[in-house]
Chains A and B, each alone.
Chain A
Amino acid sequence: MTLIETMAGVPEGSRLSQALNARAEILQLSEAAHDAVLLPRESGGLSHGLRAALAARMCRHVGDETLTAHYESYLAHSSDLDLAALARPGGLRGDPAHDAMARHTDLLTLSPREATRQDIAALKAAGVSEADIVRLSELAAFVNYQLRVLAGLRLLKEVQAR
């Protein structure tokens, strides 16, 4: 069972569960996407620990405790324990590149519509490479996708149960 299915907890045999089975390939690719952004082979300037910390930060912004706990467990298993501050909204650690990435993560989660060219310029000025800007954007975009698939599924489940 994929992470999204485990966390959504849709009862087996329900019509929603049958719908999920019909979309099994999408769920598997969503799992592969999770692995590609959280545990990539080539992590660039975003260590697996940093990715987990930022993912937990985004989940806290949206208030998803289950998914926050998932990413906190990834962070706890990484060797980058000094990144813990970045896992909390508002938390910074004094490293210009990491702090700029945390701020950009906040922007992409809370108000992506406000993003402009200057936000990318700020990342570059903090020493974040072009490739790392794309890696960070994919991470933030994926986690926001995953949060919405889960939130949507929970709502459909709640309505169906009644």
Chain B
Amino acid sequence: MSEVVHSFTATIPTWSPYVKPVELASATTEQLAAMKVTPSNKGVSPYVLTLAHDPESLAVRSPLFNLIMYGKDGLSPAERELGALSASVVNRCIYCAAVHASRFISYSGRNDVVEKIFADERDATLEARPQALFNFAAKLSTTPIEASADDARALGEAGLSELEQLDLVLSAAIFGWANRLMHTLGEPVARPEAL
């Protein structure tokens, strides 16, 4: 029996869509291209098969996402993951939060930061630099947007360069996008071995 996950966790669940995904066997050429399906790569997740209903968006978003999260220079990979995690906590995307908490931990080794964020969410108390990043990214993720000039100034005071600050804006914003797909089009389900 599959069990829906309702609490924040760094253990990555699976994802089950509320809409019927595209079937690989009947996908159009454009859908296959957007999903990056090739003869040697036929493994496509239910999430990507769901998004393949709109291949024009999917084809652009995948490379955009990868550049924002894994592009060179600027903000460290761990701190981009922190930006992603901040947005995912505000939007309560359990699946996204699990994936990016897990990546943050593997880049930084800082389980304690994730534990604090999962326990206290917006009220989490962190060291100066992660606190500045978390506050700005979380407040940029709310509606209305709560981030202020003081929150932006705190980034510079915490030692972030302009490029790092821009990368934080981008990593939080792209999760404003990802959370609105993943959390609203389906739900996280515990993997059988995790039960």
Q: Is B156 an interface residue (CB 8 A)?
A: yes
In the bound complex, residues from chain A placing their C-beta under 8 Å from that of B187 are: 117
B141 closest partner in A (C-beta): A148
In the bound complex, residues from chain A placing their C-beta under 8 Å from that of B92 are: 112-113
What distance in Å separates the Cβ of A44 from its nearest Cβ neighbour in chain B? 8
Q: Are A156 and B162 in contact (CB under 8 A)?
A: yes
| Bound complex: CA A135 to CA B162 (Å) | 34
Given contacts A36-B59, A112-B183, A115-B184, is CB(A19)–CB(B176) below 8 Å? Answer: no
Which residues between 75 and 109 of chain B lie within 8 Å of chain A, taking CB atoms? Answer: 90-93
What distance in Å separates the Cβ of B96 from its nearest Cβ neighbour in chain A? 11
Q: Are B179 and A112 in contact (CB under 8 A)?
A: yes
Q: Is B43 an interface residue (CB 8 A)?
A: no
Tell me the number of A-to-B contacts counted with CB atoms below 8 Å: 173
Summarize B's interface: helix, strand, loop or mixed: helix
Q: Are A26 and B185 in contact (CB under 8 A)?
A: no
| Bound complex: CA A78 to CA B90 (Å) | 35
Which residues between 1 and 60 of chain A lie within 8 Å of chain B, taking CB atoms? Answer: 15-16, 18-20, 22-23, 25-26, 29-30, 32-33, 36-37, 40-42, 44
Count residues on chain A whose CB falls below 8 Å from chain B CBs. Answer: 58
In the bound complex, residues from chain A placing their C-beta under 8 Å from that of B178 are: 141
Given contacts A119-B184, A147-B145, is CB(A152)–CB(B140) below 8 Å? Answer: yes
Q: Are A63 and B18 in contact (CB under 8 A)?
A: no
Q: Are B60 and A137 in contact (CB under 8 A)?
A: no
| Bound complex: CA A128 to CA B184 (Å) | 15
In the bound complex, residues from chain A placing their C-beta under 8 Å from that of B19 are: 120, 130, 133-134
Chain A interface residues toward B at CB < 8 A: 15-16, 18-20, 22-23, 25-26, 29-30, 32-33, 36-37, 40-42, 44, 61-63, 107-113, 115, 117, 119-121, 130-131, 133-135, 137-138, 140-142, 144-149, 151-153, 155-156, 158-160
Chain B interface residues toward A at CB < 8 A: 18-20, 50-51, 53-54, 56-57, 59-61, 63-64, 67-68, 71, 73-74, 90-93, 140-141, 143-145, 147-149, 151-153, 155-156, 161-163, 165-170, 172-174, 176-181, 183-185, 187
Counting from the closest, the 7 A-B pairs by CB-CB distance are A152-B169, A113-B92, A141-B180, A134-B53, A148-B173, A145-B177, A115-B184
